[in-house]
Amino acid sequence: MSRMKSDEGKRLLELYFDKKKINPNQNKKQNSSLKTSIDDVVKDCMVTQPKKSISTPTKSFDAIRNRTKSNMSLTDILNYYKQEGVVGEEKNLILQTLCAINNISFGVEGYSGSGKTFLTDALLNLIQDKYVYRMGLSSNLAILNDSKNINGKKFIYIPEIQKAMNKKDAPIAEVIKNLTEGKDANRIVTLSQGKTKQYHIKAGITVIYTLAIENYFKKDDETSRRFLRLFTDHSEEHINEILDYKARSRCFFNDESRMSEEGLEELKFHIDNCINTNDISYVDSFAPFMNTYIPSTPKTVGYVDHYYKLLNASAKFHHNKRIQEGKQIFLSLEDHFLIHELYHDEFCNSISNLNKTKDYSDLIENARKEVDWQKCWENGNEIIKINFSNVYDKWRDLQIQNNSIELKNPITNYSITVND
């Protein structure tokens, strides 16, 4: 299958650059680190190949497609967390689950007692225990001394990360840096009598942490950008919802949204297969158009990968409703709508917090403008039609129902209709 190499495909991308008022040649002179040629944009936005985990074997995309025939939805995820006793936090619950299935390291931050650990524990209950290394605080070298147990795991869970990183040169900081960059973590420690010992933790492990934000500990910018950050809801409205739930649960038993045992096992099976499937790449024909809704700041260059990985995670979770060709999966308009609804505002907030040396508020606010989903569909549809004609009809027909596409927020039920 060819990537976008046709003159027409390049013309479309040039139009997107023009919409964003970007001069590729000028930008290249100003900052050689930015990729500006059309071919580079196509490579980055259209087909992305994630790094393979070398810590554990992975399944091919064909394997997951053959083994899981169910049509699990994000509503199933919300129903699971609801029966676990989680009140509200719907965005965080969906996002942390998508992070887990696509090797996106993330942290849940909030005030003490705001439910950070409750959220992450509920997620880890969906995942096989053998995949998770729960970090203790026994000593400064604990994570290195236990490297043999860590290798082969898929997740490192660090509750209250401020306690693990309270020393400036704590080994955990170096391990986190390497793992979140997709690198092996290596360290040589000097023992008594001049002897040395080498520790090695393989790449491909997702790091999950919680952090009490009122704590004196503050992550540096380099650490912050390596994680997708989620923040618990500490609003008065949410607190009242929790108190009301606790009071009502003393006299009523609400089982409206409880999953059957079969449904729960099916969800766990689906999550497990998604976690173990990494030998795939993604074709995203909507990314060039949606790039106009990404704020153009220096910190965005490194942080936008979290956004794209969430899009891939949505396609992976909904793989039975997506077109697959060989080891490639084609994103649908729904993937962009869902991630924009669930994460775009928080993404913009994170970009704002990371850019501390200059005020980019105008650029960030402009990125929050309302998305023209009709144009997004038309442009993405044209790209697939021109450059991937062998899958176009199936890709289009899978999204179109009665000559239109209905996009729906699984939390608010807000929906829009896009005409074909």
Q: What is the pLDDT along the chain (420 residues), one digit of tens a residue?
A: 444 444 555 455 454 444 444 444 444 444 444 333 334 433 344 444 444 333 344 454 454 445 555 688 999 999 999 989 899 999 999 999 999 999 999 999 988 888 899 999 999 999 999 999 988 765 555 677 788 888 889 999 988 887 766 666 677 778 888 888 888 888 777 767 777 777 888 888 999 999 888 765 566 666 677 899 999 998 899 899 889 888 888 887 665 557 788 899 999 999 999 999 888 999 999 999 999 999 999 889 889 999 999 999 999 999 999 999 989 999 999 999 999 999 999 999 999 888 877 888 899 999 999 999 999 999 999 999 999 999 999 999 999 999 999 999 999 999 999 998
CA–CA dist 74, 341 (Å, integer): 13
Q: What is the pLDDT of residue 215?
A: 66
CA–CA dist 385, 389 (Å, integer): 5
CA–CA dist 158, 134 (Å, integer): 6
Question: Which two structure tokens, joined as six digits, stand for 412?
Answer: 């608010």
Task: Provide the mean pLDDT of the chain.
Answer: 81
Count other C-beta atoms under 10 Å from residue 34's C-beta.
14
Q: Domain ranges in the chain?
A: 7-45+280-419, 74-248
Number of H helices, E strands in the chain: 20, 15
Residue 58 · residue 50 · CB < 8 Å: no
* Segment (H or E) for 257: none
Strand order in the sheet with 281-283: 47-48, 281-283, 328-330, 323-325
CA–CA dist 84, 70 (Å, integer): 22
Query: What are the tens digits of pLDDT across the range 262-293?
Result: 899 999 999 999 999 888 999 999 999 999 99
3-state SS assignment for residue 212: strand
Q: Could you tell me the CA-to-CA distances from 243 to 4, 80, 118, 248 in Å, in that order?
A: 54, 20, 16, 9
Q: What is the pLDDT of residue 22?
A: 43
Question: Which two structure tokens, joined as six digits, stand for 115?
Answer: 């439910």
3-state SS assignment for residue 357: coil
Strands 281-283 and 328-330: parallel
From the centroid of its chain, how far is CA 293? 18
Residue 120 · residue 96 · CB < 8 Å: yes
Residue 271 · residue 155 · CB < 8 Å: no
Question: Which two structure tokens, joined as six digits, stand for 365?
Answer: 């606010």
Residue 197 · residue 187 · CB < 8 Å: no
**242-248 contacts, C-beta under 8 A, 24 or more apart:** 242/87, 242/88, 245/87
CA–CA dist 297, 291 (Å, integer): 13
Residue type for position 335 = D
Domain 74-248 has CATH 3.40.50.300: yes
Q: Which residues pair with 330 in a beta bridge?
A: 283, 323
**CB under 8 Å to 345, separation ≥6 — which residues?**
368
Across 162-290, the runs of DSSP E, i.e. the strands, are 185-190, 196-201, 206-212, 228-231, 277-279, 281-283
Count other C-beta atoms under 10 Å from residue 64's C-beta.
23
Tell me the whole-structure pTM to 2 decimals.
Answer: 0.81
Q: How many residues does the chain have?
A: 420
From the centroid of its chain, how far is CA 130? 22
Q: Could you tell me the CA-to-CA distances from 148 to 133, 143, 199, 309, 396 in Å, in that order?
A: 11, 10, 9, 29, 48
CA–CA dist 139, 145 (Å, integer): 9
